[in-house]
Chain A
Amino acid sequence: MRTGSFDRYASVLFALIGAAFLFESRNIAKSAYGSEVGPNVFPFLLGLILILLSVKLFLESFKSVQNNNNDREKLMVKRFLIILIASILYAAFLETIGYLISTFVFLFVSFQTMEKGGWVKNALIAGVFSFCVYYLFVVVLKGSLPGLPIWFS
């Protein structure tokens, strides 16, 4: 798989990252007590190297020949987006609605997205997983996780 166009965008992005570090490192104190080299030197150098490497990649990206045999497999964008959004919501609501409910909902939605149907089995697996993890971690191992919604307890 040739990756020419991605490399071009990526090289610009990485150059920007390098430049950001390079630029921002000027705001860091230049010297540390008793040392000639302050905490700014290392990020500064690295930022510079990253920019140089990005330039190299940018140039290389033109060399890689595009082979346009469109054997692009069909990407499952829809199910990916649903699961991605579900994960983000899962992360966002984990603390407020608690581990048990958020994990159950996330797993159930994802199972259904991966393959429709069999919702009793899916709900069962999602429920057993979230309960087992919670039980093992919090009750057996004495770890701490937000269990149920805050307004519940």
Chain B
Amino acid sequence: MGVMDFLMQGFQTAIQPENLFFAFIGVLIGTAVGVLPGIGPMSGVALLIPVTATLTGGMEPSAAATSSIILLAGVYYGAMYGGSTTSILLNTPGESSSVVTTLDGYQMAKQGRAGSALSIAAIGSFAAGIVSIIGLALLANPLSEMALKFGPAEYFSLMLLGLAAVSGLAGGSITKAWMMTVTGLLLATIGIDAVSGVARFTYEIPVLFGGLEFLTVAVGLFALGEVFKTILHKEDDQERVAKVGRVIPSRTDLKESAGPIARGSILGFFIGVLPGAGATLASFFSYIAEKKLSKTPEKFGKGAIAGVAAPESANNAASGGAMIPLLTLGIPGSGTTAILMGALIMYNVQPGPLLFSDHPDVAWGLIASMFIGNLMLLILNMPLVKVFAKIIETPPKYLLPIIIAISVFGVYAVQVTTFDLYLLIGFGLAGYLLAKNDYPLAPLVLGLVLGPMIENNMRRALTTSNGDFMVFIENPISAIFLVCSVLWILIPFLLKLKGKNVVVNVEG
């Protein structure tokens, strides 16, 4: 069967009523999550995993996995879009990938053009979604076929490259990023070892035999950590939310933003495919590129529509592009995709090259549903922009305790142990302290999710080589990956030595 047949099958899966419903709910909640201060895409997706787990409880495993991943992916790109709303109306980005949007978006809002900025952002996101789906459909098969030829040594090195990429770009200090990665990997070793069946670091405590649940860790670090931060630091006085005004963009706006949207989408997609780069970098690069290309660069920062269209398309395209390494290679390139991967594993669906042969319905259903989800986002957002703008005004007084309550509920509903609740609060505190001191959190979750796989592949490779570590270098493909990961660490380091500023990713 060709790509088109698979895609058609995917659409058949995606337009089943319950999946349409899940996509709709996902996109709706995602947009709300993106708009609400305090919860970003990562904590939003993590918080919704338990909800989807119960929603899909009665379905057969494969269908349940498809439906819940459709919902969670909807939350992901919904939040990407929702983040732009606060950037434009409030001058406070909902998540790091829409920081750039504030530059021109808020200026437009001040000039009373918030409505067209918001709708251009929606149109740009939609176009970007389409570009990334086409790319996903085209690249999925060749990449997963290539990855099928990989042995354990190649896999180990590839995952190492993924970790190197994320850690190298994750924040101010590379040392801190690596410490977080290694801590994540170490935490992943707690529990029963999958290869030998030996219990490690469990000290006869029954709750530890299953290992630390990634869901608990992710919700604690991201959702609770952020809540604790907002509780401790007195929030700024409520800024005035700009008036939305006319929603339908004018013809000149559309004309001016067509080019930036197209370029932003393509650039964003390719940056998204690279592990570690992600949406934030994509939005930065596309903004800079547009400014360079523009005939009137002086307009940027003063409310140029291109300055909204390009980064918003780029960050959505990047979130689509980030699905490629996740689905085809089983390597999440960012914090959010790591959480999506954890969700898939919870359903016993292992992302990676075998996904397309073992669970084509999950993979292609997701790809098709991203198309439908993007369409829904567009339809939903044009008329509902004003409603979402109202959500911003939710007083934090109610919002923060409710986020804690939802986190507790979510973790308890899935884990059903009090131990996980203590763990949740503990990781919440750790998340606050670490994030406050510039320790990036995404690498830790990535390490936790990838840990068991890295270890298994390493041990399988070493078993075939009788414990000889040279196997990773002697194997040509594995050697290339290793060289790439070393370069990924060294190049920013060298650039820094030369005193150049390195653009870093703040959050996945």
In the docked arrangement, what's the CA distance between A150 and B458, Å? 48
Q: How far is the CB of B64 from chain A (nearest CB, A)?
A: 13
Within residues 436 to 460 of chain B, which ones have a CB less than 8 A from any CB in chain A? 437-439, 455, 458-459
Say which one of B87-95, B103-111, B185-193 lies at the interface with A: B185-193
**B175 surroundings in chain A (CB, below 8 A):** 53, 56-57, 60
Instruction: Decide yes or no: A110 and B437 within 8 Å by CB, A42-B459, A76-B234, A91-B421 being known contacts.
Output: no
Is B293's beta carbon under 8 Å from chain A? no
A119-153: contact bitstring with B at CB < 8 Å (1 yes, 0 no)? 00000010001100100010001111100000000
Chain B contact patch, size range: 35 or more
In the docked arrangement, what's the CA distance between A34 and B48, Å? 42
B interface majority secondary structure: helix
Is A32's beta carbon under 8 Å from chain B? yes
Say which one of B131-139, B396-404, B496-504 lies at the interface with A: B396-404
- Which one of B55, B422, B425 contacts A84 once the chains associate, using CB atoms below 8 Å? B425
A interface majority secondary structure: helix
Is B231's beta carbon under 8 Å from chain A? yes
Number of residue pairs A-B, CB distance < 8 angstroms: 168
In the docked arrangement, what's the CA distance between A96 and B195, Å? 38
* Contact indicator A36/B463 (Cβ below 8 Å): yes
**What's the tally of chain A residues with a CB closer than 8 Å to chain B?**
67
Which residue of chain B has its CB nearest to the CB of A64? B173
- Which one of B178, B186, B401, B421 contacts A107 once the chains associate, using CB atoms below 8 Å? B401
* Contact indicator A83/B401 (Cβ below 8 Å): yes
* Contact indicator B458/A42 (Cβ below 8 Å): yes
* Contact indicator A83/B405 (Cβ below 8 Å): no
Is B467's beta carbon under 8 Å from chain A? yes
Interface positions of B (Cβ within 8 A of A): 54-55, 57-58, 173, 175-176, 178-179, 182-183, 185-186, 189, 193, 195-196, 198, 200-201, 228, 231-234, 396-398, 400-402, 404-406, 408-409, 412-413, 416, 418, 421-422, 424-425, 429, 433, 437-439, 455, 458-459, 462-463, 466-467
10 example contacts (A-B, Cβ-Cβ < 8 A) are as follows: A3-B437, A14-B183, A32-B195, A36-B462, A37-B459, A37-B467, A77-B232, A88-B422, A94-B421, A110-B400
